[in-house]
């Protein structure tokens, strides 16, 4: 057995890659996801991959916007300024 195969990073990486391959294979042709928009029968169907990709994009954009809002300098300064001494 090669030395790199005994490395814990390689073993964990292999397990993660095999798990991701399984998830993709197992969910390759799932049934569509139904969204009931109104109680009287307005239904929108999406593929599962569309829902996953849309959720990932929404989460990334929301995270970027929240970080931008959190880190930007505020326009109103509530801290009192110290009087200048002469």
**pTM of the full predicted structure?**
0.48
pLDDT of residue 82: 62
d(CA 60, CA 65): 9
pLDDT of residue 81: 62
pLDDT of residue 85: 67
How high is the mean pLDDT in each 10-residue block of the chain (86 residues)?
Answer: 81 92 80 85 86 92 94 69 65
Domain regions of the chain by residue span: 7-71
Neighbours of 46 (CB within 10 A): 13
pLDDT of residue 24: 80
CA distances from 66 to 4, 41, 63, 76 (A): 41, 36, 5, 19
């Amino acid at each position: 057995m090669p030395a790199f195969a005994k490395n814990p990073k390689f073993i964990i990486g292999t397990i993660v890659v095999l798990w991701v391959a399984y998830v993709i294979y197992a969910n390759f042709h799932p049934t569509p996801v139904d969204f009931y928009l109104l109680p009287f029968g307005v239904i929108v169907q999406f593929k599962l991959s569309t829902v996953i990709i849309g959720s990932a994009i929404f989460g990334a954009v929301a995270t970027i916007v929240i970080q931008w809002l959190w880190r930007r300098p505020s326009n109103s300064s509530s801290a009192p300024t110290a009087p200048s001494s002469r």
